[in-house]
Structure 1
């Protein structure tokens, strides 16, 4: 996967950025192109040295091209990744009042199938390892209902499920829905990169 290649150590040095930063960079370049390094550095909150390295790696992978005057733009290959990510996911901020969470919400299209490969508790632990404080994992099941695995007998979750449904106007059957705190864009993209790698897409 290209996102992983961009973060591989070179000459024994591991870069000070991760797949989340790589994905964020591509998304911001897509949105703002042509865009300069300083603007990206502020948006993504990386040091200038790390941003330089990241952009150099994206160029080496033929995902971006750089005009000395205009700035960075996506190549066709870079655009393919961005289009794939947009097709398969949606990220936004959500205040889950039932839980008192100011969270980031990530919808992964047809992503519920990842729970056939990774048990839900293992997935939750992995997302916490990536930097989340709290995680709620749901699926939009084949009957068009919100489900919070693992199922337990008569969980008192009516208000929470109604709230998730209200925030899920763009969900479809088979989608994986995640809420995580803190409400952090980088965390959301890091989790998304992990899930896309697990499903072998983009």
Structure 2
């Protein structure tokens, strides 16, 4: 169930493009905020000028799936690489709920009761290998529903054992909860170690 077909490749390049637009928007609006003209330009005027400068012939929403994918890469992949031992190796329902995993669906061929650490590790592997897919409903969704109705899918296969597969499907709200949990324990750990070194 690898997500490597051409349609997914096109979606992946769109994620990169959207992320670039979002970062450029943040850079440009940050420049305006700290300029002498900050109180002279409305948000609507800034947006129109930014679109024109970007050369885009279509509207680009700064809160895009690309920037969300970037958020997942830093929030899951980077934090897992640095603070993996802080993630609980606990598969209790209480801990799964606390970490936002009880609201996502996942299957692990070799683990009947995967721990928080295991699930996050396998999601990280899927991200690291680019084996993700974005599922946006075909019917229109308004901006307030994006976090609940847009899903990411993650697929990981153990290269040493192809029968050891993992698949997860989670909406953006659940993924944001997981990232906040990882960031929270990492931030607490770094603050505590900084105090010890002071």
TM-score interval (norm. to shorter): under 0.3
Query: In proportion to residue count, which structure has more helix?
Result: 2
Structure showing greater radius of gyration is 2
Q: TM-score, normalised by structure 2?
A: 0.26
Q: TM-score, normalised by structure 1?
A: 0.25
Query: In proportion to residue count, which structure has more strand?
Result: 1
